[in-house]
């Protein structure tokens, strides 16, 4: 069953109503400063499968979107931080990843073009002095300066006279998988996103819960089953992959989920074999993710797979997992298996890219070794007809990608509101 043609008509019919609904929903929450959303499109189902609140990859966006991104940054700051002039960006500490450094440099450029003074500060322990000079993947220079704390304020850069600069705002581009460093605790400067949204505290299931509620509203507008837009998911905490009793508990939940997916496939006459992913409930970089075609594979998994599933970023042990419906991708870009990743600033799309992987199938996790990226330029979407393998109207497909990404970002807004209501960090004002 292919739903894209049905969706094409419904999106065109309800376009104004959808836009109005999104605008009303955005007034109910504080939208995150920036997000990236991974999307999977199987032809019979399309959904967000991951929402990142500390997105890397700005260097993979279409260069034509830099100006738009800067305009959205300027708009966001005017709405939430009107007095901000100086901004400190704190990136990840793995400063030897040149592609990640390209992302940091692009992010710095976007915010600088929005009219702000921007410094890159680092908490890296590799530094011998106060300045770390590195190069990006494009061999461009990038300078990171050592962050210091003075009472309840962070300082790093100095001006031409050697006077230390006061920062009005700190932007985190570090997912804080290891927790909140002491240097960031109880400071007076505003921080976005909240450090309490780092992966040491955040769970994907939280975002998914809000996402499902919003999808039900969206599905009601276009009169479709919300199942077409959400992966069926089970959550399990206190997991130990080296404990056979735990493995059997996981297998039992997986069996129930596979039966439920099978029932949906039968209901909609979908000629596909259901499968699932087991994934880290608090993680990134595609770590702690494994595909399973059936329950027997779970029961027979070897030590190598168990070690993979229980190892998160920085060697952190996985304790909470999602058992989630697999959504195969029919998206292809120049014959590569592909999936779109959409970037948003203040909840407004600012471009994206296709994640490609020639080493993986349409049923696999593409965020793995062998992945490549290709710009997804919405302003010239019709030029993709000879590259992008689909019989759906590309403008319609692009609109669907953007709507799904906006809904996922709205869900992140609800996450942010919940965190800020229990924290002493700066709370944004509408």
27: how many CB neighbours lie within 10 A of its CB?
A: 8
Mean pLDDT value of segment 368-382: 73
pLDDT of 191: 93
Q: Provide long-range contacts, Cβ within 8 A and 24+ apart, for 262-267.
A: 264/227, 264/232
The 10s digit of each residue's pLDDT in 327-365 is 999 888 777 888 999 999 999 999 888 899 888 999 999
pLDDT the model gives residue 425: 42
CA nearest neighbour of 251 among 304, 305, 209, 301? 301
Give the start-to-end residue ranges of the domains of the chain.
4-57+203-419, 59-192
Q: Could you read off the pLDDT of 14-25 as tens digits, one per residue?
A: 999 999 999 999
Q: pLDDT-based confidence at 62, cuts 50/70/90?
A: confident
CATH architecture label of 59-192:
3-Layer(aba) Sandwich (3.40)
Mean pLDDT of 251-264: 97
């Amino acid at each position: 069953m292919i739903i894209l043609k049905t969706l094409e008509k419904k999106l065109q019919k309800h376009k104004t109503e959808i836009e109005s609904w999104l605008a009303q929903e955005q007034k109910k929450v504080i939208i995150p400063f920036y997000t990236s959303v991974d999307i999977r499109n199987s032809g019979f189902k399309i959904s967000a499968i991951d929402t990142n609140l500390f997105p890397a990859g700005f260097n993979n966006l279409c260069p034509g979107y830099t100006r738009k991104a800067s305009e959205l940054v300027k708009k966001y700051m005017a709405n939430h931080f009107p007095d901000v002039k100086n901004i400190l960006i704190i990136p990840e500490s793995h400063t030897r990843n040149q592609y990640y450094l390209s992302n940091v440099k692009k992010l710095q450029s976007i915010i600088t073009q929005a009219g702000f003074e921007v410094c890159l500060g680092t908490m890296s322990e590799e530094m011998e002095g106060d300045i770390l000079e590195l190069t990006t993947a494009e061999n461009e220079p990038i300078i990171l300066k050592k962050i210091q704390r003075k009472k309840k304020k962070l300082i790093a850069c100095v001006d031409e006279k050697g006077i230390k600069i006061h920062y009005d705002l700190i932007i985190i581009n570090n997912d804080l998988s290891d927790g909140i460093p002491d240097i960031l605790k109880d400071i007076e400067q505003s921080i976005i996103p909240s450090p309490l949204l780092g992966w040491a505290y955040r769970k994907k299931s939280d975002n998914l819960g809000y996402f499902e509620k919003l999808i039900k509203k969206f599905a009601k507008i276009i009169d479709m089953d919300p199942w077409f837009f959400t992966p069926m998911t089970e959550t399990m905490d206190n997991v130990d992959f080296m404990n056979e009793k735990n493995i059997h508990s996981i297998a039992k939940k997986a069996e129930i989920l596979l039966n439920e997916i099978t029932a949906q496939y039968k209901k909609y006459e979908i000629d596909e074999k259901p499968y699932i992913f087991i994934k880290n409930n608090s993680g990134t970089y595609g770590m702690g993710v494994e595909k399973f075609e059936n329950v027997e594979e779970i029961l027979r998994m070897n030590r190598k797979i168990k070690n993979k599933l229980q190892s998160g970023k920085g060697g952190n042990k996985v304790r909470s997992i999602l058992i989630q419906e697999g959504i195969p991708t029919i998206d292809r870009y120049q014959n590569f298996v592909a999936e779109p990743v959409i970037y948003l600033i203040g909840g407004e799309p600012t471009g994206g890219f296709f994640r490609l992987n020639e080493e993986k199938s349409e049923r696999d996790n593409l965020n793995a070794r062998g992945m490549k990226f290709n710009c997804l330029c919405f302003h010239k979407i019709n030029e993709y007809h000879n590259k992008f393998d689909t019989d759906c109207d590309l403008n319609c497909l692009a609109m669907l990608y953007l709507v799904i990404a906006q809904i996922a970002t709205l869900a992140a807004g609800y996450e942010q509101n919940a965190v800020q209501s229990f924290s002493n960090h700066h709370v944004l004002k509408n």
